[in-house]
Amino acid sequence: MEESVGSPVTGMQHVGKTNLPVDGQPVGPPSNRSQSSVKLQKNRIGTARRVFDKVFLYLNGWVWRLLPDSLMMTRPILRYGAFLHFYVQRRSERSQYHGTFFLRNRPELELIRTLANQKKIGASLKLAILGCSNGAEVYSIAWIIRSARPDLKLILCAADISTEILEIAEEGLYPLGANRLMDSQIFERLTEEEMRGIFDLEDGHVRIKPWLKEGIVFRVADAGDPGIIASIGTQDIVVANNFLCHMVPEHAETCLRNLVRLVAPGGYLFVSGVDLSIRAKVANDLGWTPVLDRIQEIHNGDPSVRRDWPWRWWGVEPYDGKRSDRDLRYAHLFRIGEQLVAEAIAGSTVK
Ligand SMILES: C[S@@+](CC[C@H](N)C(=O)[O-])C[C@H]1O[C@@H](n2cnc3c(N)ncnc32)[C@H](O)[C@@H]1O
């Protein structure tokens, strides 16, 4: 029997000379027959590729774990890690997650507090958090700002594309154990004192303290929707963390270019959990100014995403201070439209 063979170049199917069933497939009319044999061929290639990927990554993981710490930051290992990460990203079917933590990246939160501290006594601070999930990030930011600057009028808008998770965020009531949408890891970065400062304890649950919830508006919104500016309005600070990496790269780039329009000229964008090359490209194209304060600590400040490199698509490489593009590549915080503001102040024409 001559089997059907697909061309690896064109993907076209060369049908063999007999009409015998292949692997028990019934013989149908010619078009159905060739379609099912293309499908079969694709399935076989897909299975072979998956097996190869599994073995390849398993063996690499095994060797990787044996590497001494002293080698991890050497150029050849960083390059090989980058290759493995690229390999993983190319092979992964990305999907969204709700996973998050309270006080997820402490150096980043400290920088948010520094920005809040630059505000005059009694001033307003407009801040939007996109992809806010169950609210852990929202209340962490509210806590860090309100503890330091109770005088500020904090106008905080928290948005997520998922209505279901946003309901949890808005209620601010969290089980101490895991449930379908959350695991108990959300508390693992908090000290007991911080737990007491943020929550009231309620029978197997913890509830966000009322002073932290005050004035926060929760909205279902898609960060990639061009209409988001009209619904949320421009902000002093926009936070867009850990959701762009779960999109295919083209969508992530389009979404990032869209959401930055929410930042008022001279305002700030925090963006992490995005493919580093996409962030650097958009930052470069749009002339964002990277903020270098604590850049390395912030880049390394979320242990879970650092630990997952190079094995998961969301994993983040270690900070490599020898790279000439390190500022744009590793900054999480950017000042937006500074140049436009300066030009406007100087009275020059702003295009
Ligand atoms: C992994 S969680 C990140 C939560 C939080 N930002 C953090 O850094 O811990 C990603 C969240 O982004 C939301 N999301 C995904 N795509 C979005 C979009 N286009 N617009 C708004 N939210 C989105 C998901 O529903 C999910 O709750």
In a domain, 289, yes or no: yes
pLDDT tens digits, one per residue of 125-165: 999 999 999 999 999 999 999 999 999 999 999 999 999 99
Which residue out of 98, 133, 168 has the highest number of ligand 1 atoms within 8 Å of its CB and is therefore the one to mutate?
133
pLDDT grade for 290, boundaries at 50, 70 and 90: very high
* Same domain (yes/no): 27, 152: no
In a domain, 327, yes or no: yes
Residue 262 has pLDDT above 50, yes or no: yes
% of the chain residues with pLDDT over 90? 77
In a domain, 93, yes or no: no
What's the token pair of residue 57? 């990554």
d(CA 322, CA 124): 40
* Same domain (yes/no): 28, 177: no
* Same domain (yes/no): 336, 221: yes
Residue 247 has pLDDT above 50, yes or no: yes
Which residue out of 95, 112, 161 has the highest number of ligand 1 atoms within 8 Å of its CB and is therefore the one to mutate?
161
Pocket around ligand 1: residues whose beta carbon is below 6 Å from it? 96-100, 104, 130-133, 137, 159-162, 165, 222-224, 241-243, 255, 273
Average pLDDT across the chain, whole number: 88
* Same domain (yes/no): 191, 336: yes
In a domain, 150, yes or no: yes
pLDDT grade for 37, boundaries at 50, 70 and 90: confident
d(CA 180, CA 169): 15
Q: Which has more confidence, 291 or 27?
A: 291
In a domain, 271, yes or no: yes
CATH number (domain holding residue 222)? 3.40.50.150
Atom of ligand 1 minimally distant from the CA of 224: 19
What's the token pair of residue 234? 């421009």
pLDDT tens digits, one per residue of 164-217: 999 999 999 999 887 777 776 999 999 999 999 999 999 889 999 999 999 899
**Residue 252 alpha carbon to ligand 1 centre in Å:** 12
Buried b / exposed e along 316-338 (16+ C-beta atoms within 10 A):
bbbbbeeeeebebbbbbbbbbbe
* Same domain (yes/no): 209, 302: yes
Domain count, the chain: 2
Nearest to 34 by CA among 230, 42, 196: 42
Nearest to 265 by CA among 351, 333, 337: 337
Q: Is 351 exposed, middle or buried (0-12, 13-18, 19+ CB in 10 A)?
A: exposed
In a domain, 27, yes or no: yes
Residue 7 pLDDT = 31
* Same domain (yes/no): 38, 143: no
**Residue 299 alpha carbon to ligand 1 centre in Å:** 19
Residue 51 has pLDDT above 90, yes or no: yes
* Same domain (yes/no): 156, 296: yes
pTM of the model: 0.85
Domain boundaries, position 210? 106-345
210 prior amide bond cis, ω within 30: no
Atom of ligand 1 minimally distant from the CA of 99: 1
